[in-house]
Structure 1
Amino acid sequence: MNDFLRKIHLVKDISIQLPVSKIDFIQKFRNHVDQSDLSFVPFEVFQSSRNEYKGNISNNSFELRKRRKLFDTNYSFAKVTGHFTEENNQLNINAEINGFRKRMLLFLGIVVMFYSIFLFASLFLGSDSTVPFFILPFLLFHMSLMLGIPYFVIRRSVKRMIYDIERDLHYWVTKN
């Protein structure tokens, strides 16, 4: 499943090198990221914070995602999971950006089941085969929209997170 998600660009790997020590990076991470276990919070958009990200960090790894904001159209679905090591005063970060959540499988299952049942019922259960011709193209077009729009929104979220995380990590390190 993970290989398939990588092929359709819903999961990406990035590698970042920063000129900072591990201890300084952990401190800067804690200053710029609100501590959270990244579980679902119903009214997260109404919580205020100056930090743009929420997540957690341990000695060699971290997890973070963008904080959801009221009236924000960036659709921050992507979650970053990274591991870091220090070599020669250089911090090497290997991160995976994942835009696909397992709860999306429920949505996909319901959508595919709905369209399968509707297609089967319109083709085989219609009385005297009087199903209008435009039903099948309309159904296929509607299905492509219902599956395509979430795909492109999540894919854009992953691309945007790659850009944002690279930019923000460099900013955190170079900022005094």
Structure 2
Amino acid sequence: MDNFLRKINLIKDITIQLPITKTEFIQKFRNYVDESDLGYVPFEVFQSSTNEYKGNIQNNTFELKKRKKIFDTNYSFAKVIGELTQENDQLTINVEIFGFRKRMLIFVVIILLFYLVFFLGSVSNGDVFPFFIFPFLLIHMSLMLVIPYFVIRRSVNRMAYDLERDFHYWVTKR
């Protein structure tokens, strides 16, 4: 399933190289990322913090997400898992950005089951069902499945851009 999600750009792999040591990067990570287990927080938008990300870091791996903000229209569904590798004076960060979570599969299955039951119920009904309704239902079904896809794909691409930009900013800022 991961290969399919990579093909449709809901999972993205990037590599970032920075001129910094691993220990310095870990220190900067802890300064710019709020410590969190990335679980669901009900009123996260009302928490005050100057940091844009929340997450955690161990010795060679880290996880992070963008912090939700009030009135923010940039939907941030993406979760980042990264691995740090020190090579001489360069730090290589291999990052995997996930936009699609397993729990979203339930949403897709429920929508497909709803439309399947509706189509089967309307066709098997003895009454005459107006045929012109089927194209509108197909359009509605495609919008219910395609719009979330584009929102999640945009979130993954935006996270890749923001992450690379912010990591370089962290390194150059003293």
Task: Establish whether TM, by shorter chain, passes 0.5.
Answer: yes
Q: Residue 138 of structure 1 corresponds to which residue in structure 2?
A: 136
Q: Residue 148 of structure 1 corresponds to which residue in structure 2?
A: 146
Q: Return closer, same or farther for 1:23/1:145 CA change in 2, 3 Å cut-off.
A: same
CA distance in 2, matches of 1:109, 1:126: 28
Q: Which runs of 5+ in 1 are unaligned?
A: none
Q: Residue 175 of structure 1 corresponds to which residue in structure 2?
A: 173
CA distance in 1, matches of 2:144, 2:80: 26
For residue 15 of structure 1, give the secondary structure of its aligned residue in structure 2. strand
Aligned letter for 2:70?
Answer: L
Q: Residue 57 of structure 1 corresponds to which residue in structure 2?
A: 57
Aligned residues: 174
For 1:15-164, list aligned pairs within 5 A. 15-127=15-127, 130-164=128-162
For residue 51 of structure 1, give the secondary structure of its aligned residue in structure 2. coil
For residue 153 of structure 2, give the secondary structure of its aligned residue in structure 1. helix
CA distance in 2, matches of 1:20, 1:38: 26
For residue 50 of structure 2, give the secondary structure of its aligned residue in structure 1. coil
TM-score (norm 2): 0.98
Q: Which runs of 4+ in 1 moved over 3 A?
A: none
CA distance in 2, matches of 1:50, 1:137: 49
| CA root-mean-square deviation | 0.7
Aligned letter for 1:156?
Answer: R
Q: Residue 9 of structure 2 corresponds to which residue in structure 1?
A: 9
CA distance in 2, matches of 1:111, 1:101: 16
Quote how far apart the aligned CAs of 1:92 are: 0.3
TM-score (norm 1): 0.97
CA distance in 1, matches of 2:92, 2:126: 62
CA distance in 2, matches of 1:62, 1:147: 31
For residue 24 of structure 1, give the secondary structure of its aligned residue in structure 2. helix
What percent of counterpart residues are identical?
70
For residue 85 of structure 2, give the secondary structure of its aligned residue in structure 1. strand
CA distance in 1, matches of 2:28, 2:111: 43
Quote how far apart the aligned CAs of 1:134 are: 1.2
Q: Which runs of 5+ in 2 are unaligned?
A: none
